[in-house]
Structure formats: C-alpha cells, structure tokens
Amino acid sequence: MEVKYGAHVTTTCQDIDAAHIAHGIERWFQANARALPWRIERSAWKALVSEIMLQQTQASRVAERFDAVMQEFPTPRAMADAPIDVLLAHWQGLGYYRRARSLHASACMIVQDFNGKTPTDSDALQKLPGVGRYTAGSIASIVGGHREPIVDGNVRRVLSRIWADDGVTGDADLEARTWDRATELVQACCDPGSCNEGLMEFGATVCTPRNPGCDACPLATACRANASRAAESIPRPRKRLERPVEYVHALLLMRGDNVLLEQRPEGGRWAGMWQPVSHVHTAALGARAVGTVFDVGGVRSAGGFDHNLTHRQLKVRVFRATAPSGMRLASSTRRWVHRDAPGVALSSLGRKILSVMAGVI
C-alpha cells in the first residue's frame, strides 16, 4: 500500500483509516506518556536494556531497577567486561533469568561485532541474542526513527479491538493480521517512535485487558469493538492447560548462622542462580524421607508454600537440619553463606525458601 508521510489515507483492511488511528495515538502519547527512566536521554543501549528487562515484566517493576542497572552498566563494554553474576544480582525478583544471560551475551556481541555501539537497524538488532522482531522494531523505531512495526500483547489487544478481530491469542493468523495492521499504522504515522511507543502505552494504561477505559478513549468512535460493546472479550484468550504439579523439597542446612546454598545448572529454570539445596519429587515427602535423600539426620519440617510458574505449579516443602560436625559440603557449586546476607544472586524461589526461615511466608 502506498502512503504519503502524514497523509490522510483509507486502508484496504476493512476500511479502517490507519492515519486517523496513528495520529490519534501519537497525540494521546504526547499528552499522556508516563515518566519512565529509560525515556530520559534516550540511547540505543538504554533502549535495548529496558526492552529486555520489560519482556514479561511490568513497567513499574522495571522502573525500580533500571537506574541501578544503568549505573552499573552504562555501556555495552561495561556489561561485557563484568561477570554474569553481577548482572544476575541486579536481576533478582524480575524473573525469567534467561533474559539477563541474553542481555549479557548481546553486550559481548555489540563489543565484538559492532565496535561497542548498539545498532538501531532492525536486521542488525535481530542478530543479538534474545532480540526478536518486536524488540528490534521497538528500538529501531523509537531510537532510530525507522518505520518498523511492533506487536506485543498490548499492541495486539489494541489493534484487535479497533478492527473487532476476535481471533484467539497466539493464533498464527491473528498474529499475521496484527503485524499487517501495525505496519499500516507505522507507515501512516508522523513519528514511528511516538506511534509505536504510544500503542504500547495505550494498551498498558487505557485499553487494558479488563475494564478498558472506553469512555475516555480518544479512538472510541473508530473502534469497532467499542461500537459493538465487545471490547473486553477481544481478543479471545488462549485456552489454559492444566499445569502439572511438582513437589520441591528444600533443605535449610544450617551451620550456626550460615546456610548451605547450591548453584543451579547453566540450563533450565533459574540457570546459574543460587538457592538452598533442593530435590524435586512427584509426591510430598516427610522429614525422614528428606533426611534420607540428603543423607543428613535431625531433619524437621519448617513450613511450605506454593510457587506458580508459567507451565508448572510447584508445591514447596521446606525442611531444616543442622550440618553434622566435620561434614564437608562446600564445592564449586555449593557454598556456605550468612542466612541474612547471602551475597549471591538468589532465584525467586530461593528467596522464598530463605524467608520461611525468618517466618515471613
């Protein structure tokens, strides 16, 4: 479709006026953008760090950590030269720790292949670990000014409602249609960065999954879902599968005020993070059985909690025991740390287990 810059056009997609939508989003964003730290003195590196941190994490939680991360790693070289454990320590509580490893690997690649300068071209950005079409398009448009479309959960919801597309989230056809619509908008807008970032912001604050602010929506007259009073039911959610249950038996093995932690393997959940020694079983075990598993006596129950993952439900049972005198347990992947100041990057599960010891759970 041929579109003149900033021109008023009528799209071929169900006669929705792409320019009207794009310009409305841009005006709304200019008046309502939240004051977020990565929007101050923008740079490609800050944009990359923020986008990786924002993947599957609320903006408010990222905002709490972003400045500290940037102070520690003001440049790709600063991150590439630092051990991964330093970044993981900053990442505690954000979850999905594989993102941190991808960001560290991206910093190394930027130093090695791009002379330390974060690219703003979408194709170059997609060569970086953990950077897909959405993240690349976001950085390329917001920082580089390129007319690259973006689609995340917020954008998908906004565009599905405007077009009254009740496709199922995750369906390949819905994804293709949404990318086509996002492309039309970014081609018809005045400023690609404001249009794309505005779409994300609009979905996060106005066109929300539940109780969308249709009464105050500047696009209400153009939104077909609003016209049919169907906004909250669009797009249709993917059918949730029942999550299998795993039993995690964690042992707080104490030596005075110190507790034994183990480092997770490099692959899988919480890769490279630290937590009390644990064992996964298909059923709950009692204190005596746990003692047999860990080959230690005097084991007693300390409490428990449920911990939900995206595809698993963990039933965590926490036990406590005193390390026998002379028992050698420390190794390259196990170490004694102070119970109140571990000084290592803890997994979210590890922090919860340690909090049982303090009676917080």
Per-residue model confidence as pLDDT tens for the chain (361 residues)? 333 323 222 333 346 789 999 999 999 999 999 999 999 999 999 999 999 999 878 888 899 989 999 999 999 999 999 998 889 888 877 777 788 889 999 999 999 999 999 999 999 999 999 899 999 999 999 999 999 999 999 999 999 999 999 889 888 999 999 999 999 999 999 999 999 999 999 999 999 999 999 988 989 989 999 988 988 899 988 877 777 888 899 999 888 888 889 888 776 677 778 889 888 888 888 888 888 888 888 888 988 888 887 778 888 899 999 887 766 666 778 888 888 888 787 877 888 888 887 654 4
- The full DSSP string for 50-76 is HHHHHTTS-HHHHHHHHHHHHHH-SSH
Backbone angles phi, psi at 40, to 5 degrees: -95, 125
Longest Cα separation, the chain? 80
Tell me if 212 sits within 8 A of 166, measured CB to CB: no
Residues of the chain with CATH 1.10.340.30: 18-233
The pTM of the full predicted model, rounded to 2 decimals, is: 0.74
What type of residue is 334? R
Looking at domain 245-357, does it have CATH number 3.40.50.300?
no
Question: Is residue 51 flagged as an active site residue?
Answer: yes
pLDDT score, position 271: 76
Long-range CB contact pairs, 126-133, < 8 A, 24+: 128/48, 129/102, 129/105, 130/52, 130/98, 130/99, 130/102, 130/103, 130/105, 130/106, 131/48, 131/52, 131/102, 131/106
Annotated catalytic residue, options 2, 26, 41, 51: 51
pLDDT score, position 88: 86
Helices (H), 206-323: 224-227, 287-294
Token representation of residue 48 = 């990359």
pLDDT score, position 14: 47
**Rounded CA gap, 117 and 298, in Å?**
57
pLDDT score, position 278: 87
Report the SS3 class of residue 249: strand
Q: Which of 215, 122, 211, 147 is nearest to 4 (CA)?
A: 147
Residues making up the chain, counted from first to last = 361
Residues of the chain with CATH 3.90.79.10: 245-357
Pick the CATH number of 18-233 from 3.60.15.10, 1.10.340.30, 1.10.10.10, 2.170.8.10: 1.10.340.30
Report the SS3 class of residue 253: strand
